[in-house]
Amino acid sequence: MGTRTLRAPASHRPARLLTGLYALATLVALLLTLLARRRPHPFLAEGIFGLLNVPVAPTFVSVVVLALATRALLGRKRIGLWFVAVFQVLGIYVGFVALVPAARLPRTEMWVSRGELGRGLDIVSTLVAALALWWLWRIRHEFTGRLQRGSWGLAFAALAVGSVVTLGVAWLLLGAVGAPRSQVDPLLDTVLAVFGGVSRRTLALVPPWVVDVVAVCAGLTILAAVTLFLASARPRSRWSPDREVALRGLLARDGAEDSLGYFATRRDKASVFSPDGRAAVTYRVVAGVSLASADPVGHPDSWQPAIEAWRAEAREFGWVPAVVGASERGARAYAATGGMRVLLLGDEAILDPARFDLRRASLSPVRHAVARAARAGLEVRVRRQRELRADEVAEITDRAEAWRGGETDRGFSMALGRGGDAADGDVLHVTAHAADGSLVGVLSLVPWGRSGVSLDVMRRSPDAPNGVTELMVSELLAHARRLGLARVSLNFCMFRSVFEDAERLGSRSLTRVGASVLGFFDRVWQLERLYRANEKYEPAWQPRFLCYDDAVSLPQVALAAGAAEGFVRHPSIRNVRTGRTELDAEHLAQVAEISAPPVDVEGLGPRRSDQFRHRAAALDRMRAAGVDAYPVGAASVTTTPIATLGPDAWQAPRTLSVVGRVREVRDHGGVAFATLVDGESRLQVLFDAARLGRECLDRLTSFVDVGDLVRVDGTTGRSRTGTPSLLADDWRMEAKCLHPVPFRAFDDPATRARRRSTDLLVHPRDVELLRSRSAVVGSIRRTLGDAGFLEVETPMLHTTHGGASARPFRTFINAYGVDLSLRIAPELHLKRLLVAGLGPVFELGRNFRNEGADATHNPEFTSLEVYQPHADYTTMRHLTERLVRAAARTVHGREVIPLPVPGPRRDGLDALDDDGTQGVDLVDISGEWPVVKVLDAVSDAVGQRVTVDTDIDVLLGLAELHGITVRPEMGAGAVIEALYAELVEPVTMLPTFYTDFPVETSPLTRPHRTEAGLVERWDLVAAGMEVGTAYSELTDPVDQRARLTEQSLKAAAGDPEAMEVDEDFLHALELGMPPSGGLGIGVDRLVMLLTHTSIRSVLTFPFVRPMSTRRADRETSPAWS
What is the structure's pLDDT at 48?
74
Percent of the chain with pLDDT over 70: 77
* Residue 142 neighbours by CB distance under 10 Å: 20
What is the structure's pLDDT at 516?
60
Rounded CA-CA distance 492/512 in Å is: 21
Q: Is the pLDDT of residue 1004 over 60?
A: yes
Find the mean pLDDT for residues 115-119.
50
Q: What is the pLDDT of residues 372-393, one digit of tens each?
A: 988 888 999 999 988 888 888 8
**Domain spanning 767-795+824-930+990-1098, CATH architecture:** 2-Layer Sandwich (3.30)
Output the CA–CA distances (angstroms, integers) from residue 893 to 94, 624, 915, 922, 1088, in the order listed. 102, 54, 12, 12, 17
Find the mean pLDDT for residues 1066-1085.
93
Find the mean pLDDT for residues 210-227.
69
Closest CA to 268 of 584, 591, 577: 577
Q: What is the pLDDT of residues 765-822, one digit of tens each?
A: 888 889 999 999 999 999 999 999 999 999 999 888 776 777 888 888 877 778 888 9
Find the mean pLDDT for residues 394-406.
82
What is the structure's pLDDT at 633?
82
Output the CA–CA distances (angstroms, integers) from residue 1024 to 64, 986, 987, in the order listed. 75, 4, 6
Cα-based angle 1032, 1036, 1042 (whole degrees, multiple of 5): 110
Q: Is the pLDDT of residue 726 over 50?
A: yes
Angle, in degrees to the nearest 10, between helices 208-229 and 60-74: 10
Q: Do domains 637-741 and 767-795+824-930+990-1098 have the same CATH topology?
A: no
Rounded CA-CA distance 966/963 in Å is: 9
What is the structure's pLDDT at 936?
95
What is the structure's pLDDT at 560?
81
Report the range of poorest mean pLDDT among 78-87, 222-231, 309-318, 481-490.
222-231
Q: Is the pLDDT of residue 11 over 60?
A: no
| Position with higher pLDDT, 124 vs 489 | 489
Report the range of poorest mean pLDDT among 397-401, 573-577, 632-636, 1080-1084.
573-577
Rounded CA-CA distance 920/897 in Å is: 9
What is the structure's pLDDT at 1078?
93
Report the range of poorest mean pLDDT among 344-353, 399-408, 622-631, 940-949.
399-408
Among 252-266, 525-539, 551-565, the range of highest mean pLDDT: 252-266
Q: Is the pLDDT of residue 115 over 50?
A: no
What is the structure's pLDDT at 260?
86
| Position with higher pLDDT, 72 vs 896 | 896
Rounded to two decimals, the pTM is: 0.60
Rounded CA-CA distance 1016/997 in Å is: 7
What is the structure's pLDDT at 414?
75
Q: Is the pLDDT of residue 913 over 50?
A: no
Residue 1018 has φ and ψ, to the nearest 5°, of -130, 155
Among 133-137, 419-423, 1035-1039, the range of highest mean pLDDT: 1035-1039
Report the range of poorest mean pLDDT among 52-56, 572-576, 833-837, 961-965.
572-576
Closest CA to 561 of 283, 312, 327: 283
Strands 681-688, 724-735: pairing kind? parallel
Is the CB of residue 474 less than 8 Å from the CB of residue 341?
Answer: no
Q: How confident is the model at residue 506 (pLDDT cuts 50, 70, 90)?
A: low
Residue 662 has φ and ψ, to the nearest 5°, of -80, 120
DSSP 149-203: TTHHHHHHHHHHHHHHHHHHHHHHHHHHTT--GGGHHHHHHHHHHHHHTS--PPP
Long-range contacts of 56-59 (CB under 8 A, 24+ apart): 56/25, 56/28, 56/29, 56/32, 57/29, 57/32, 57/196, 57/197, 58/29, 58/32, 58/33, 58/197, 59/29, 59/33, 59/195, 59/196, 59/197
Q: Is the pLDDT of residue 1022 over 90?
A: yes
What is the structure's pLDDT at 1072?
93
E strands along 679-723, which residues? 681-688, 709-718
Domain positions in the chain are 3-142, 151-229, 637-741, 767-795+824-930+990-1098, 942-986
Element (DSSP H or E) covering residue 529 = helix 527-535
Residue 698 has φ and ψ, to the nearest 5°, of -65, -40
What is the structure's pLDDT at 107?
45
Q: What stretches of 326-467 show up as alpha helix (H) in DSSP?
A: 328-336, 364-375, 390-404
Q: What is the pLDDT of residues 157-207, one digit of tens each?
A: 777 777 777 767 666 666 565 555 555 555 555 555 555 444 444 555 556
DSSP 217-251: HHHHHHHHHHHHHTPPPPPSS---HHHHHHHHHHH
Sign of torsion over alpha carbons 427, 432, 435, 439: negative
Nearby residues of 333 by Cβ (< 8 Å), 6 or more positions away: 295, 296, 300, 303, 304, 307
What is the structure's pLDDT at 73?
75
Q: What is the mean pLDDT of the chain?
A: 79
What superfamily would CATH give domain 637-741? Nucleic acid-binding proteins (2.40.50.140)
